[in-house]
Amino acid sequence: MTITELLHEAGRRLRKGGSPSPSLDAEVLLARCLGVERIDLYARADLAVEPDQRNRYLDAVARRVKGEPVAYIVGKKEFWSLELAVTADTLIPRPDTETVVEEAIRLMKRGFPRGGSILDVGTGSGAIAVALASELEETTITASDISERALLLARENAIATGTAGRIFFVCTDLFESLTEKFVMIVSNPPYIAEEAYRILPPGVRCFEPEKALIAGPRGTEFHGRLIEGAPSRLCDNGWLVMEIGDGQWNEVESMFQNDHRWDCIHVVRDLAGNDRVAAARRRS
């Protein structure tokens, strides 16, 4: 079979299986199997594909038809223009989370232009930590996670992106075992409510780690823990920057307002116009 014929067959199977983007999925999976860029597929459209490559590709297509995310199948996901390794031990980095990185960089450049030390709580694949390290050259980052396997992946991504020299990895739950003071704490915590989790798309619910998604009956359990515990680990005028879910800003804002250790409380919207990042400064 040629590349064109394989793409046609894969697209047919993916459409039948309910993929929301069958053509894109078919191209991404084939490019990965052949070790080429997507754009190269059409320059080689009439090239015959070796049987072992064809079989490997159709196996990957079958996994996608069953709902497995493309990022897990190919083992890669782009975030902040960086190609990161991903596994089923961590969430797949999403574009919305880049809003956390953007706001963290803005606040660092405004308040701490000479750099400082940042804590990334629940680093997962290391996406936020690696992105910040790639942009803030005078800054060191402590990336923490309760999962040793996630930390191994995060370290792999730091090495691959050339940022490992300024990122330190710690296995801990939130702030336990941490004694250092930081100028900023960032986090993309779990924020899916228990009831909402039950109706998530199967590609999320059946494949991504449940513990990295669910945060109690309202989805704000970890935000509350971060707001309560972060002041003890922040320097004066240090910032807490957290991703939030749709419809959670009012509750998270109230949590900040009811704790008089915080000021400069604000929300940042993502590119779709949704409230995405909650941030506040520790009072001096």
Statement: residue 160 has pLDDT above 90: yes
pLDDT for the residue numbered 168 = 97
Confidence at residue 43, expressed as pLDDT on a 0 to 100 scale:
86
7-21, pLDDT tens digit by residue?
999 999 999 998 999
Q: How far apart are CA 24 and CA 148, in angstroms?
A: 33
For the stretch 245-262, pLDDT in tens is 999 999 999 999 999 999
Structural domains of the chain sorted by starting position, each given as residue range(s) with its CATH number in brackets: 3-66 (1.10.8.10), 80-282 (3.40.50.150)
> How many residues does the structure list for the chain?
284
Q: How many CA atoms lie within 13 A of 226 on its CB side?
A: 29
Tell me the pLDDT tens digit for each residue of 185-207. 999 999 999 989 998 888 899 99
Using a pLDDT cut of 90, give the percent of the chain over it: 88
* Averaged pLDDT of the chain: 95
46-99 residue pLDDT tens? 889 999 999 999 999 999 999 999 999 999 999 999 999 999 999 999 999 999
Report the relative pairing of strands 140-145 and 182-187 from DSSP bridges. unpaired
Question: What percentage of the chain reaches a pLDDT higher than 70?
Answer: 100
Q: Is the pLDDT of residue 284 over 90?
A: no
Query: With contact defined as beta carbons under 8 Å apart, do 170 and 177 qualify?
Result: yes
pLDDT higher than threshold 90 for residue 45:
no
pLDDT of residue 131: 99
Please name the residue ranges forming H helices in 136-258. Answer: 148-160, 194-197, 202-205, 221-229, 249-257
Mean pLDDT on 130-155: 97
Q: CA 110, CA 75: separation in Å to the nearest integer?
A: 36
- Cβ atoms of residues 166 and 133 within 8 Å: yes
Residue 113 pLDDT > 90: no
Distances (CA, A) of 37 to 22, 26, 40, 184: 18, 13, 5, 38
| Partners of 141 in beta bridges | 118, 167
What pLDDT, on the 0 to 100 scale, is given for residue 282? Answer: 97
